Amino acid sequence: MKLGRMNHIGVATPDLDASIAFYRDVMGATDITEPFVLESQKVRVCFVNTPGENGPNGEPTAGTQVELLQPTEADSAVGKWLDKNPLGGQHHVCYEVPDIHEAKAWFEGLGKRVLGEPRIGAHGTLIFFVHPRDMGGQLTEIMETPKEAH
Ligand code: CO
C-alpha cells in the first residue's frame, strides 16, 4: 500500500447552497466549483479548492479540497448519516493511491471491510470506501490518483 496525498475531506450538509455561501463569505474561499449530481452516490456535490504551497517558481499548486455533499434522497448513505448528524459536518476523508485494485487487495488482506467494488467517484477516477469501524472510526475513501496529475 502506497499512501498518496490527502485529496479531500468530505463534508455533508443539509443545504449545499448555504454551505457554499459559508465557505465563500465566512472562510474566504475564492475557488468553489459548480455543483453537480453524482447519481451513483445520490448526492449533489461541489468542491471548495484550498490553495496549496507555492511551486518551485512561486506558482500556486493544487491544495486539498473540501467536498461538500448534500443528499438528493433521504434514503441514501449520506441522507442516513445526516439523520444522525443534522447539522452536517465531516463525513469522510479521502486519500489518493497509485493503484486502486492493489489498495483494495491490501485492505481486504488486513480484514478491513471494503464497501462495494471500485466505482467512478466525483473526480472521475475509481474510488472505494472502507468501513469506519475498521478504520479507527473514520469512514475512509480511497481514490486512484487522476492521471493528469502526474
Ligand atoms: Co469523497
The reported pLDDT for the residue numbered 150 is 44
Name the grid cell of 36: 453537480
Catalytic residue status for 141: yes
Strands lying side by side in the sheet with 36-38: 36-38, 43-54, 60-71, 6-12, 89-97, 140-144, 126-130, 114-120
> Which domains are assigned to the chain?
6-149 (3.10.180.10)
Cβ-based neighbour number of residue 137 at 10 Å:
7
Output the CA 56–ligand 1 centroid distance in Å.
29
**pTM for the predicted model, two decimal places:** 0.90
Of all residues in the chain, what percent carry a pLDDT higher than 70?
98
Place of cell 485492505: 107
146 membership: H or E segment, kind and range = none
Q: What is the pLDDT of residues 84-110, one digit of tens each?
A: 999 999 999 999 999 999 999 999 999
Output the CA 111–ligand 1 centroid distance in Å.
22
Output the CA 142–ligand 1 centroid distance in Å.
9
Out of 39, 141, 144, 148, pick the active-site residue. Answer: 141
Q: What is the pLDDT of residues 103-117, one digit of tens each?
A: 999 999 999 999 999
What one-letter code names the amino acid at 79? Answer: G
> Phi, psi (5° rounding) for residue 6?
-70, 115
> Phi, psi (5° rounding) for residue 33?
-80, 160
Of all residues in the chain, what percent carry a pLDDT higher than 90?
81
Output the CA 92–ligand 1 centroid distance in Å.
7
> Phi, psi (5° rounding) for residue 41?
-115, 5
Q: What is the pLDDT of residues 116-141, one digit of tens each?
A: 999 998 888 999 999 999 999 999 99
- Helices (H), ranges, 76-137: 77-84, 100-109
